[in-house]
Each structure stands twice: as structure tokens, then as C-alpha cells.
Amino acid sequence: MIDPLAVKTALTISIRRKQRIQELEKGDPKEIFYFLMQSLAPFTTDELQIFTRTLTIERYKPGQSFIREGELSNKVGFVLKGLFKSYTLSTKGDQHILNFCDTGFFVGSLAALTTHLPSHVTIDAIEPSIVYTAPYSIVEDLYKENSTWQEFGRRLAEELYIEREQKEYEYVTLTAEDRLERLLFRYPGIENRVSQSDLALAIGITPTSMSRLLRQIKK
């Protein structure tokens, strides 16, 4: 089982990164992209400038999907502005939110991209969103040719794995109130950007229970 201290340390690093991204939101959105890429691997600004020439800017309205369950994925995205949710549906059609993809972070189904199999998740915009996208085939070629890109891919995979393990740890060991507090810490201000229903689905409780928990936390 993951070490609780390691969880706390990883969360602290994540929140510091988010704080820096919030500062960068006041300027050129490309600076957010450069910051995150360079936080994962030692890219030069020239390398990133060349890469951004291969990127496409896509705009998403609330409710519009970046990818849907059952679709093949051929692109990876980076959120320049906005918010997405990644979720699966049970056999009964109940939604379970896996995570939120905020400004300054990657969006996409890594499993679908790397296995070339249909996605098992749907990713929808919650807010009007702007995304840098690149064909994953270009990223795969860079992995093969460039050691910096190899380090980037390794670090990104590690962070995604750690985040997944953290959430599994929280779901098994923490109370609903603790899970909510951890979610609010991980995504500052998220309670003002998504519905209470989505907050409830993200920590595995009912909307009614969520209303009660939010009242308790605000006391």
C-alpha cells in the first residue's frame, strides 16, 4: 500500500505546481505549456517552440467530448484554459468520475493511446475550454528519437500512476469527508466550478451526502 507520507508529499508538489500555473494564467497561455513540459523534462525553449508548431488549437463547449467511451484515440491534449471531467459508466448507466483535467494539465486516454484500443473513458468539457492537441503518432516518434522526450514520457507515466494509486488509497482508507477535503486540496476552488453532483460522483457518495459534507466543512 502506498505510504501516506508519500501521498502527502506528492499532493504538496501538485498544489505548488497548480499555484504556479494560476500565476501564469495572467500571461501568454503558451507559458503554461512550457512550464509543465519543463517541470517533467529538461526541454529547451527552442525545442518547445519547434514542437508547438505541430500543435493545433481546439475549442470545446461545456458538454462537448474530447473523447468518448468506445472511440479510438489518436491525439493527446494540453488544457490551455478550462476544465474537463473523465468518467466511466456502469452497466446501469451510472457515472463515475475518475478525475478532473484542469488548466495546465494533459487531457486524453493514455491507455487508449498506448494500446491502440477503444477508450474505456469519456472526457467532457465542463467549462468553455481551449486545448493544444497533437497527433499521438508525432509524440511516439519523438519518444524513439530523443532522450529528453523519453524522460518526459517516463515522468508523465509515473505521475499518472502515482495519482491513480493515491486515489485508490484514499477510496479504501479515508472517510467521505477526508476524501472531499483531499479533492478540494487537489483542485482548489473546484467546488465553485462544478456541480455538487459531480463532486459527489468524484468521491463516491450521493449528492445528498455531498450537500451535508459541504455544510460541515464550511462550519
Within-domain flag for 182: no
- Burial level of 177, CB count in 10 A (0-12/13-18/19+)? middle
Q: What span, in angstroms and rounded, lies between the C-alpha atoms of 4 and 10?
A: 10
Within-domain flag for 50: yes
The reported pTM is 0.85
Range of the domain at 80: 4-173
Within-domain flag for 194: no
How does pLDDT run across 132-187, given as a tens digit for each residue? 999 999 999 999 999 999 999 999 988 888 888 888 888 888 999 889 888 888 88
Cell of 183: 479533492
- CB-CB contact of 190 with 170 (8 Å): no
Within-domain flag for 183: no
Q: What span, in angstroms and rounded, lies between the C-alpha atoms of 146 and 76?
A: 18
In the chain, the number of structural domains is: 1
Within-domain flag for 142: yes
How does pLDDT run across 67-105, given as a tens digit for each residue? 999 999 999 999 999 999 999 988 888 889 999 999 989
Report helix, strand or coil for 90: coil
CATH number reported for the structural domain that contains residue 125 in this entry: 2.60.120.10
- The DSSP letter of residue 190 is G
On the question of pLDDT at 206 being above 50, the answer is yes
